[in-house]
Structure 1
Amino acid sequence: MRDEGRHDPDLLRYYGEGREGERLRSGSGLLELVRTQDLLRRFLPEPPASVLDVGGATGVHAEWLVTDGYQVDLVDAVPAHVEQAATLPGVRARVGDARDLDAADAAYDAVLLLGPLYHLVEREDRLLAWREAARVVRPGGLVAAATISRFASLHDGLRTGMIVDEEFREMVARDLADGQHRPPPGKPWTWFTTTYLHLPGEAADEAVAAGLESPEVFGVECSAGLLPEAEIETWLSDPDRRGRLLWGLRRIEREPSVLGASGHLLTLARRPG
């Protein structure tokens, strides 16, 4: 298993400060959670299937998966995340690296990569993560990988007004040029941390290169992610409006012409069986 030294120090510091635990509890983060649940519940095998949650952080997804009846193992590179996830009933958590999983071949019915591909900024490292997921999932099993859109920083800047900042615009220009998101010194936590931003179809190409088949790309937040945070919470807090929002987003979630508007993308692929 690879050690922590293979990870970017800023990445470990960023998440080591406990930033991930509450991110998916409000605003656009809550929309990301609700839509990820919506998608996975449609495509995961029926419980009590076994799921490996790679890069599962503090267990936000593992918690609801266990509640749904799945058998969940969680792996994360940040020890503080693993300590917190291990307190969740039914979740078995351990420190590990998406590029070198401590698991047997074909050990799981499904594998989730809902974070590792953000921070593996080199293509070869991302392919290693995809290949490891393909190795440990059973033949015919599902691999679901989240990525951040190449256009996410630009859209965030327009929605929040940060686009007026010259340093922010320079960072966005680099994001758009090559996907390498590198916040300037002194502002890494405000503007996230070192990240790779995918073009809409890029993760599907990576999945195929890693030996998986039939990849499909879905927008997670889709265009609703461009709404102000308060408005997103208003839609999600009312059951009727929430249902209508999900109804609408399901109808554009695979539309190639609007995928880039989504802050996050979910790519589903299968191990040949």
Structure 2
Amino acid sequence: MNVIENYYDNIYDEWERLERHKLEFDITKRYLDKYIIGESLEVFDIGGGPGRYSFYLAEKGHKVSLLDLSSRNIEVAKEKAKEFNVGLKEYIYGNALELEKYEQKYDVILLMGPLYHLVKEDQRKLAVEGALRLLKPGGIIFATFISNYAPIQDALKYFYEINDIQDVLRYLKSGENRPEEGFTSAYFSSPSEAKSLMSSYYIKELVFASVENILGSKEKELYSLSDEQYKKWIEIGFRLSTDKNLIGTGEHFLYIGQKE
């Protein structure tokens, strides 16, 4: 946890990440809009970084509490609240593995970050179980995973030099990424592994999507298009995101479920 916290406190700017990766942001927002139904809902964004999705939902009138492991991310969220003149209900410096201290029940829970970084299966289960305990019956959970195909897509997107092809392909067998290999301590999941984790709980699966799907490797080119053309490609990507034949082409998987 200290390695991950240090990465987001001192090395990586998570707020700007979704500026660079608008494709991921825009398609995910389409799913938030479709499945978060109602007004002034209680939302808990667990591991939500500096709160890009928190602010998006708060601007729609929802009561959003943000929790993140990085104290820097929490400070950025407070700064952005002043900039946007949109406040969150709570700004919590906390750990997705230590949710037992919280009691409020939420209409919607976002778990769109912690499962990237929990290398051990029992930790991923603990995070999901903690989140589900705080979700009201009938409530909606959004959980995201980094795809174990993401390193391949990343290599294709930027065409950086490959020294050993196993450096790109090895995540298909072992999803663990160590800090010295770039990024930080992380876990990349296969589609079946991600679905299996979530299906082991009393949740009704509503969506399992490959967020960027075939658009991912053309991300830079998409941003050079006119606004009209870009929106058309986003619509195509959204419609293809649940195509089972394309699931492995995305860099992120999005699971949406309803607590039974």
The alignment's TM-score, normalised by the length of structure 2, stands at: 0.91
CA distance in 2, matches of 1:182, 1:15: 15
Superposition pairs of residues 202-241 of structure 1, within 5 angstroms: 202-229=193-220, 231-235=221-225, 238-241=226-229
CA distance in 1, matches of 2:75, 2:256: 29
Q: Deviation at 1:163?
A: 4.6
Partner of 1:144: helix, strand, or coil?
strand
1:29-59 Cα offsets, whole Å, 9 max, x none, are 1111111111111111222111100111111
CA contact (8 A) 2:27 2:238 kept: no
Instruction: Say whether residues 1:12 and 2:5 are aligned partners.
Output: yes
Out of 165, 181, 190, the residue aligned to residue 177 of structure 2 is 181
5+ residue gaps, structure 1: 1-6
Identity among equivalent pairs (%): 28
Q: Deviation at 1:158?
A: 2.2
CA distance in 1, matches of 2:227, 2:159: 30
**Structure 2 counterpart of 1:15, which letter?**
Y
CA contact (8 A) 1:207 1:215 kept: no
Partner of 2:87: 90
Alpha carbons of 1:268 and 1:163: their partners in 2 closer, same or farther (altered >3 Å)? farther
Partner of 1:265: 253
The alignment's TM-score, normalised by the length of structure 1, stands at: 0.86
CA contact (8 A) 1:217 1:266 kept: yes
**Structure 2 counterpart of 1:171, which letter?**
D
CA distance in 2, matches of 1:73, 1:248: 32
CA contact (8 A) 1:45 1:109 kept: no
Instruction: Say whether residues 1:23 and 2:14 are aligned partners.
Output: no
Q: Deviation at 1:193?
A: 1.5
CA contact (8 A) 1:208 1:215 kept: no
Partner of 2:59: 67
Structural RMSD (CA) = 1.7
CA distance in 1, matches of 2:56, 2:206: 25
CA distance in 1, matches of 2:172, 2:215: 21
CA distance in 1, matches of 2:30, 2:205: 20
Partner of 1:133: 131
Partner of 2:56: helix, strand, or coil?
helix
Partner of 1:86: helix, strand, or coil?
helix
